[in-house]
Amino acid sequence: MNELFKIILSLSLSGTILIFLLLLLRPLYKERLSKRWQYYIWLLVIVRFLLPLTPETSVVGNLFRQTEQRIEQNTMNSTRLPSADSPGSLRTERAPSTELVDIGSPGSAAIEAGGDSYTPPVANTANNKLRIVISENILFSLGALWLVVALLLFVRKITIYQSFVKYVNAGSTPVEDMNLLERFGRILADNHVHGTIDLRANSLVASPLLIGFMHARIILPTTDLSEEDFYYTILHELTHYKRKDMFYKWLVQLTICLHWFNPFVYLMGRETNRLCELSCDEGVIASFPEHSRKSYGDTLLHAISTGGSYKDAIASVTLNESKELLKGRLDAIMKYKKIPKTIQTAAIFITGILIGGAVVLGAYAAPNAKSSSQTDEISESGKTESSSLPDYTIQYEDGVYYIMVDDATEDDKPISSVTNGYKKLVLVREDYYATFGTFDDHDMTSLVNYITEQCNTRLDNNEITQENANIVIQAAEEIQHSYSYRALEDDDVILYNYTQSGYYQHPYLIWIGYNLPANAQSKYNGTLLTLSDQSTMPVWFNEESKKFMSDENAISAVTTLIERMKSQKADSSRPVEAPIITSIEYVGDTDINTLAEKYYTEDELTHFSAIFPELDSRTQQEYLDHMFENDRISFFSCCIGELEDTNIQKDAVERYTLKAYEEDKINFFAVLSGMLDESSQRNWLEKCKKDGKTNFSILLEEDDYSFDDFLDKNFPDADLSGSVFTDDDFFNSDFTDDDFPDNDFLDEWNDFQKGWEEHEQQQKEITNLIELNRLTKQELSTELQTFLDSCDDRKWYLIDAGSGLQYLYYNGLPHTYAYEPNIIKNVGANDRVIIDIVNFDFFNTPRDRVIEENLGNYVLLAFSYTPDNQDAGYSLEVTYNGLPVTYEIVQSR
């Protein structure tokens, strides 16, 4: 009991200091860092308050131990001293009276010398013993008092909450308005909420609130809300639901109960409550265009005027709390701006300081073996002094940096290690490996920061040891350093991501990297190419390829290739700029199929992948099948992304994913799963989890170690669909894990989704002939941009850019827009394609056509259409809110 109480006292002190540290740093982050960060950073304080984890030497731990030792020493000295000198002590123990008799003997001299500063030892010992007994007694009663109060408080909070939930439920009526329920259901679906939430109304509640852990309900004070108010209210509550704020609030409540004697935990309670709302608001408005923010603020204001008076002060999650808080929230909403990247690094920095603080502060750890603790400490500190990291080597293979620590062998390497375009670090030790990443070439300059951040989160979760983290961070430093060095000096083709940079351009194979950094350009030989439109473009050659600079045929092949690449990547986010030719190989007139076969059998991956995109799609399929059957994973991972037609590629990826899953080929699955779109990744993740294939599901887990994920991982059952647990069950029954229903609806849901996908597939067969993409001007080539700038405002254009691609362009729209393609098939005559540009309506425009960000007031759609009967052609009509517009057809060159 006493040890427990001491631990609590030390935790309380430790946590309080951390609160001060957080408040001290507040001017640094208050206006700059996201409210979400400010909210979750309190979790660190809570952890400090709750978990008695402590390093060997910590500030608070030492403080406590010192105090303890001082008391102990006092007793020790006084009890031990007499026994230290045998003659004196014997006598003292036998009979105090003899001592008085023997004054002047050697024994008594010793006593006098040793006990100089002490009053007669006997009385002293007794006195001290008494003092210790008394203080132990006091400590015990205080400890008992603390425990009783803490328990009472917690039980009381739970019962109050329970009865609150009961009252609110009993007085509530289920919302039966189908229109409202369906709107609610759609908002849930749009926000990827997996669980089921009941919607109820109770005119007694003060504001909309979310209650229930297992069987969540949103209770509205009234259903008589405007469409917007309803939308925002629900969105707000859903954000709480998705962030599992209920658990957070209860964690705070638990802390308050355990540290009830500490006034600062109440301060913490208020702060977290306030930040919970602020960060929730922030999450809600993050996805809004600016003008909607005001409407959201209006909703908050409306909410306080409609509510009843029944209010839960403990832990329900409500839309508004008090008027004072409301004012702060409205302020924050209007001031909201996205946090720039640089500031986010500051967030990491401050987080680092605070975590460091939390660890250093530590807590009092109950001394289990008092006698040996001293020596332990010495040997421990000796170890840290002499401990340098174990030796390791870094190997690079197919996008993976293996950190091979000396105790590891090749067998310890994971089997699946090929990534698709992305890179990662794998720490390999004896019978152990851990993966870090992923990142790509663009992240290389900040690799150390990125990896350090990952290590810190994993350290917090106790997923890796400090030593392993240190190794990985040090290795990352080396890799980052050597990378920046190599990028400037070395001409290793790997740097240019060879999977995408070998090309066949008759009669050469050309390896090309692009976006050569400006400061590296001077190290290479540059020349100007004249493109077919008479514009010029600088190209660089390295030591190996520079002999081709004077070869006219080679230069013309390079020119053709670059033009081809430019046109292919015209709409991609990484345009072809500053290319560097790293290697050219003359292959003559040999047929590409023969070449492919040769390189495939000779295991020449870089050569093969250059040829692969040129093969016809049937041959490509055959090769992929062969690679899959024969486990040629590196070939497979390079080629699967090179299928030209996006639909064929998508089909292929889905087919092979299924195959890899069924045949347990985890390495293929790893490559393929990265290429799936987000929703099918999510489906696969659920399937893997359900089938218990953890090794597969790990591949699909998000890398982002957020609090949500932490909760998902640790309370996987909290988010169940269709579970029928109520709060009362939650608190009253001694349930075991088995009592939690499994994901009952998963099967039904998957079946349902499969049916839906089939339905969509049929729809797609009709519309996949049309390609229609929304663009920003920045995504176009500079020529096209200049061309657009020369266009008149408020005039519709159909721009023919050659190669079958057309752009629809209009400048000067007064608002954002959505669009609806529509094909009317006329058998035997021309098809009619109608593109309707419509006013963007926040509530009624289907979500997939909604523009997330205001792209500017222009319409820019890339458009192509292939009618069934190619000879017949088609007519294109553009309508604006249903009314036809006339457009001018222009050539861009």
79 vs 99: CA distance, rounded Å:
17
Backbone angles phi, psi at 71, to 5 degrees: -60, -45
**Residue closer to another protein, measured from CB, 731 or 756:** 756
- CB contact at 8 A, 832 and 874: yes
- Say whether residue 176 binds another protein (CB under 8 A): yes
User: Do the Cβ atoms of 851 and 816 come closer than 8 Å?
Assistant: yes
Type and span of the H or E element at 838: strand 831-839
Q: How far apart are the first and last CA of the chain?
A: 86
Query: Which lies closer to another protein via its Cβ, residue 723 or residue 845?
Result: 723
745 near another protein, judged by CB under 8 A? yes
Torsion of CA 242, 248, 250, 251, to 10 degrees: 150
What is the residue whose two structure tokens read 């740097």? Answer: 495
If DSSP states are collapsed to H, E and C, what string results for 693-717? CHHHHHHHCCCCCCHHHHHHHHCHH
Does residue 766 belong to the site contacting another protein (CB under 8 A)? no
Q: What count of other Cβ atoms lies within 10 Å of the Cβ of residue 46?
A: 20
Contact between 369 and another protein per CB under 8 A: no
Assess contact for 3 and 366: CB atoms under 8 A. yes
Stretch that binds another protein, among 281-289, 565-573, 720-728, 860-868 (CB under 8 A): 720-728
Q: With respect to another protein, which residue has the nearer C-beta, 191 or 484? A: 191
Contact status: 722 vs another protein (CB under 8 A): yes
Q: Phi then psi for 278, rounded to 5 degrees?
A: -60, -40
**Interface with another protein, residue 755, by CB under 8 A:** yes
199 part of the interface to another protein, by CB under 8 A: yes
Our finding on whether 227 is near another protein (CB under 8 A) is: no
Minimum CB–partner distance for residue 754 and another protein (Å) = 10
Among 9, 81, 168, 197, binds another protein (CB under 8 A): 197
> Comparing C-alpha atoms, which of 821, 727, 16 is closest to residue 312?
727
Q: Which two tokens stand for residue 541?
A: 């050659």
Minimum CB separation of residue 657 from another protein in Å reads 22
Cα of 868 vs its chain's centroid, Å:
45
* Closer Cβ to another protein, 214 or 434, answer by number: 214
- Separation between Cα atoms, residue 819 and residue 849, nearest integer Å: 7
How far is it, in rounded angstroms, from Cα 456 to Cα 434? Answer: 14
Kindly indicate which of the ranges 274-282, 742-750, 761-769, 876-884 contains the residues binding another protein, using the contact rule CB under 8 A: 742-750
- 185 part of the interface to another protein, by CB under 8 A: yes
Compute how many other C-beta atoms are within 10 angstroms of the C-beta atom of residue 700: 20
Q: Give whichever of 685 and 780 is closer to another protein, judged by the CB atom.
A: 685
CA 528: distance to chain centroid?
A: 44
When asked if residue 186 is in the footprint of another protein (CB under 8 A), the reply is: yes
Site membership for another protein, residue 233 (CB under 8 A)? no
Q: Which is nearer to another protein, 176 or 760 (CB)?
A: 176
Task: Give yes or no for residue 883 binding another protein (CB under 8 A).
Answer: no
Per CB under 8 A, does 752 bind another protein? yes
Choose which of 391, 644, 747, 758 interacts with another protein (CB under 8 A). 747
Q: Select 655 or 687, whichever has its Cβ closest to another protein.
A: 687
The residues in 640-699 that bind another protein, with binding defined as CB under 8 A, are: 690
Stretch that binds another protein, among 189-197, 239-247, 285-293, 325-333 (CB under 8 A): 189-197
CB of 48 to another protein, least distance (A): 39
Nearer to another protein, 178 or 827 (CB): 178
User: Does the protein bind another protein through residue 184 (CB under 8 A)?
Assistant: yes
Rg for the chain, CA atoms, rounded: 35
CA dist list (Å): 715 to 165, 247, 661, 738? 22, 10, 27, 14
CB nearer another protein, residue 176 or residue 397: 176
Rounded to the nearest 10 degrees, the angle between the axes of helix 666-673 and helix 646-662 is 150
Tell which one of 100, 126, 724, 885 touches another protein (CB under 8 A).
724
CB of 217 to another protein, least distance (A): 9
Q: Is 196 in the site for another protein (CB under 8 A)?
A: yes
Does position 174 interact with another protein (CB under 8 A)? The reply is: yes
Total number of residues that touch another protein (CB under 8 A)? 32
Minimum distance of another protein from residue 283's CB (angstroms): 20
Interface with another protein, residue 868, by CB under 8 A: no
CA distance 351 to 576: 39
Measured in residues, the chain has a length of 893
**Per-residue three-class SS string for 543-555:** CCCHHHHHCHHHH
Binding of residue 760 to another protein (CB under 8 A): no
Q: Specify the residue for token string 């987000």.
A: 678
746 binds another protein (CB under 8 A): yes
**Interaction of residue 414 with another protein, rule CB under 8 A:** no
Position 744 contacts another protein (CB under 8 A): yes
Using CB under 8 A as the criterion, which residues of the chain lie in contact with another protein when the complex forms? 174, 176, 178, 181-182, 184-186, 188-189, 193, 196-199, 215, 690, 721-722, 724, 741-749, 751-752, 755
